Amino acid sequence: MSDVLKYGATAKWLHWLIAFIVIIMLIFGRTLESLPLSEREQMIMGHSGLGTLVLLLMLLRWGWRLSHEPPGAIGSMGLWQTRLSKTMHWSLYILLVLQPILGIFQAMFITDYEVLAFGVINYSGLATDSADMARVFHVLHGINATVLSVLVVGHIGASLYHHFFQKDSILRRMLPYGKP
Ligand code: HEM
Ligand code: HEM
């Protein structure tokens, strides 16, 4: 078992920065479709830019995670709880990398507007427009967002349960000035 007692500053920064962006994107992503085309194009510039940033931050975070040992399970956690938390964390890593990739594929095929991440990266120019392909990736991007939202709610619930009911150090060791 790991002797490390808490997450390092880099892991904490990456966790809270990514969490902040992703929660906003999951909430406001759903409203994109109801916008008129002119406004939607503007919003998608921001959405695809932030999504691209999440992808880059997640790749950095994954690399960091593999080279820096995280704190291990705490004494009061049984085997099933330890396994569940590991499965949950790796699922979040995988879905969070997949989400922007599916978004980028959707953007490459969209027929009715151009997707320019932050107004600079032209994803629409990467492939020939195809309404069918755009629809497939739109559905996959939407399904992945739904599964991700459920996992995030479960993850937040588990953290609060540890903090307020189990009264252990799980949440504190991820907080900026938290003591393990
Ligand atoms: C972590 C990153 C991302 C999250 C959490 C996210 C989330 C979402 C959500 C929740 C929706 C609504 C899906 C639906 O209701 O079916 C959506 C739509 C969309 N996303 Fe993303 N997204 C991310 C990254 C990206 C990226 C990187 C791109 C493109 C480069 C992108 C392009 C789009 C497009 C084009 C739509 C459809 C908007 C429309 O209806 O016209 N997304 N996204
Ligand atoms: C979109 C939102 C979020 C995502 C995607 C996310 C993702 C993750 C991931 C992947 C880990 C594992 C880190 C690792 O071992 O490398 C983690 C750890 C953690 N997260 Fe989140 N998180 C989010 C929001 C939150 C929120 C809002 C809270 C607090 C209420 C929270 C509390 C924690 C805690 C306490 C840990 C450490 C767990 C442990 O030490 O075993 N997270 N998070």
Q: What is the pLDDT of residue 110?
A: 94
Residue 152 lies in a domain: yes
Residue 95 lies in a domain: yes
Q: Which residues of the chain have a pLDDT value below 50?
A: none
Residue 174 lies in a domain: no
144 lines ligand 1 (CB under 6 A): no
Each residue of 100-141: pLDDT tens digit? 999 999 999 999 888 999 889 999 999 999 999 999 999 999
Spatial distance between the Cα atoms of 127 and 105, rounded to a whole number of angstroms: 9
Contact 110, 39 (CB under 8 A): no
Spatial distance between the Cα atoms of 36 and 51, rounded to a whole number of angstroms: 21
Place of tokens 């991820």: 174
Spatial distance between the Cα atoms of 59 and 65, rounded to a whole number of angstroms: 10
Residues in the chain: 180
The domain total for the chain is 1
132 lines ligand 1 (CB under 6 A): no
What does residue 117 show for φ and ψ, rounded to 5 degrees?
A: -60, 125
Extract the tokens encoding 50.
Answer: 């932030």
Q: What is the pLDDT of residue 2?
A: 65
DSSP-derived letter for residue 117 is E
In the chain the beta strands, taken as DSSP E runs, fall at: 116-117, 121-122
Residue 175 lies in a domain: no
Q: How far is the centre of ligand 2, averaged over its atoms, from the C-alpha of 18 (Å)?
A: 10
Q: How far is the centre of ligand 2, averaged over its atoms, from the C-alpha of 3 (Å)?
A: 20
Contact 177, 85 (CB under 8 A): no
Range of the domain at 110: 9-166
Residue 84 lies in a domain: yes
Contact 93, 155 (CB under 8 A): no
Ligand 2 nearest atom to the CA of residue 85, by list position: 41
Residue 99 lies in a domain: yes
Number of H helices, E strands in the chain: 4, 2
**CATH (domain of 14):** 1.20.950
Residue 3 lies in a domain: no
Q: What is the pLDDT of residue 151?
A: 98
Place of tokens 């949950």: 88
Residue 177 lies in a domain: no
Q: What is the pLDDT of residue 78?
A: 87
